[in-house]
Structure 1
């Protein structure tokens, strides 16, 4: 962001250009005799050149040293008039200084400089000019210096407004970057949960089926074949779901072929293939759910059943879906006897809780008298 010109008080090319321009205008009016009537005509000489250089120098450094520059500018201006040089353009020097004082130091500095300049100017005018012209020049001096303070105040308000706008833009950019980072983190977390659910469930099923195949390979080859077929089916399904997750990343849209609660019999079949009886119960009026709720419900049931197979040492698990007008209640309860929680402290339990929280639902998991229970309510 570029710094505002009046905030960086080091003299720059605008100050140099202004000093040269005003100095040239005052010098030209003095040399060519363009001046107010009633002044004793005095030609441009070395004293006029010295005063002109002081005026230009005060304009050059007026932002860095506003008060000394104002003193020099006002003093040299009145010295110019008092010496009797020509030059209507010289009044521009105290005007510019008053504007700068108001902008840099504040309104009251500009008012003080304007009042001092006006009072001193009137005194000089009364002493230098003829009576018929003194009154008119005094009125002009008051109007000119008042206008200078007003212009300085307007510029000061504009710079303050511009600074506020730039600060707001900067804050908006920071907020936008923070929001983008938050969305990226949430999406990364969502993908991590998706991959975890798919891989954990698949590995658990393959591990169980491989153990069964190894155990019955010699005595019951047909049972081993069934286990191997189940492994093939499970791995194929896992690859399809992973392709769906990756496809969603590539297309920047929703998952392709998102799992749904209609596929719960497949999950219960895999659990039963691992030697755990599964009972699925559905109550209430079954109706369509939002895609996000459908996916979250499926993943929660999938992760809960994966934990049953991997950790619970259970012989039976019950899955209950209760469709209510405002929410879907999910309960997965097993009769496991494992000493530890089926989910442990890993990502499984945290992932289920996070899915429910993201949708504004409730999640609870813990050991009960008969085993371990996962209960969740997702708003519809």
Structure 2
């Protein structure tokens, strides 16, 4: 069974009080003399009180007018005065504050003018009491309306904050998925590409030059071991259960010669400036960019030679990888590998340019700021 709201219960209680009060006034009246207004006006006012939630302004005007007419014109002195307080409160609570204030002023003005005649129905203290109750009813309605508005605003802010946290969580999950995909691409793409190149060389020289085939197989063994180790590291971090897996990259700019040797290419390398003491995230990004650039040379250039320059100057690490191969290139610098390199550079506040060289071949040029990385690390702490 549905329960009645408090406002309806209060309205019913007020109507019952008026009916009982009017009946008692009728029984106590000498001679039981009455006119039609003694019964019509209470019925009209009570009806308006019961409808005050749906029609607040109409109930305010009709109930107040019925009460103003009741006391000077009716014979009985029933408790009809309690009804205007309810409709005043409801009008202010529903947002009709101007109508409530105007009605209060009109009622008090009419009551004051009516009491200026030779016969007075209320004394000064009663008039002040009625004034106070009417003002209090309007004020209470305004306060409850403001409180509801405040609670709605607080609830809306809480909902927006919750949505914001959910959006932030989804954004971080998306960024983490992209980071994992980039890591797996770098780890697997480079090493598997190198294994493929070395396997081709081993098959080609297996009969003619067995010593070269043996060296190629040794390289394949080392590369596959490194691939498994790095893959195990990445998956171990994701699962957070493999405590034996290393948490820092095995490769580093300080051991760039090992990167070059593992690529299976003849790379002319020029290093300018110290490569030790580079921030970890810059070191990792630089290693990944070099490996991906050399992998692209091996895959797409059609050449087994490349030129690489690494320069540390003005707070930046500048990496350049070029080839002169006739193979296919990405004219617009697109491709998942190049996209991953560009994302790594951009994440550190750096830049990456990739495209065909004017004289033929392909070039990758990355600039990674060192100071921006340190600032990001301090902010994260």
TM over 0.5: yes
1:262-277 superposed matches below 5 A:
262-272=254-264, 276-277=265-266
Contact map agreement 1:214 1:224 (CA 8 A) in 2: yes
Cα root mean square deviation, aligned: 3.5
**In structure 2, how many angstroms separate the alpha carbons of the residues matched to 1:231 and 1:312?**
21
| Deviation by residue 1:66-105 (Cα, 9 ceiling, x = unmatched) | 12222343244346545354555x4332122112212323
- Change in CA separation of 1:53 and 1:224 when aligned onto 2, cut-off 3 Å: farther
- Change in CA separation of 1:41 and 1:120 when aligned onto 2, cut-off 3 Å: farther
**Secondary structure of 1:374's match?**
strand
**In structure 1, how many angstroms separate the alpha carbons of the residues matched to 2:131 and 2:213?**
108
Say which of 238, 248, 252 aligns to 1:257. 248
**Secondary structure of 1:133's match?**
coil
Contact map agreement 1:335 1:371 (CA 8 A) in 2: yes
- Change in CA separation of 1:263 and 1:97 when aligned onto 2, cut-off 3 Å: farther
Residue 200 (structure 1) aligns with? 189
Say which of 80, 93, 100 aligns to 2:83. 93
**In structure 1, how many angstroms separate the alpha carbons of the residues matched to 2:23 and 2:237?**
80
Contact map agreement 2:92 2:142 (CA 8 A) in 1: yes
Residue 7 (structure 1) aligns with? none
Residue 61 (structure 1) aligns with? 51
Give the gaps of 5 or more residues in structure 2: 371-381
Contact map agreement 1:118 1:145 (CA 8 A) in 2: no
**Secondary structure of 1:232's match?**
helix
**2:211 is aligned with 1:211:** no
**Secondary structure of 2:54's match?**
coil
Give the gaps of 5 or more residues in structure 1: 1-10, 34-38
| Deviation by residue 1:331-369 (Cα, 9 ceiling, x = unmatched) | 112232224249963201111111111111111112223
| Deviation by residue 1:41-81 (Cα, 9 ceiling, x = unmatched) | 89899987876665554334322211222234324434654
Contact map agreement 2:307 2:321 (CA 8 A) in 1: yes
- Change in CA separation of 1:289 and 1:251 when aligned onto 2, cut-off 3 Å: farther
**In structure 2, how many angstroms separate the alpha carbons of the residues matched to 1:270 and 1:41?**
118
Residue 110 (structure 1) aligns with? 100
Give the TM-score normalised by the residue count of structure 1: 0.81
Cα deviation, residue 258, structure 1: 2.5
**Secondary structure of 1:329's match?**
strand
Residue 15 (structure 1) aligns with? 7
| Deviation by residue 1:284-316 (Cα, 9 ceiling, x = unmatched) | 233423322222111111110110111112232
Cα deviation, residue 155, structure 1: 2.7
Cα deviation, residue 122, structure 1: 4.5
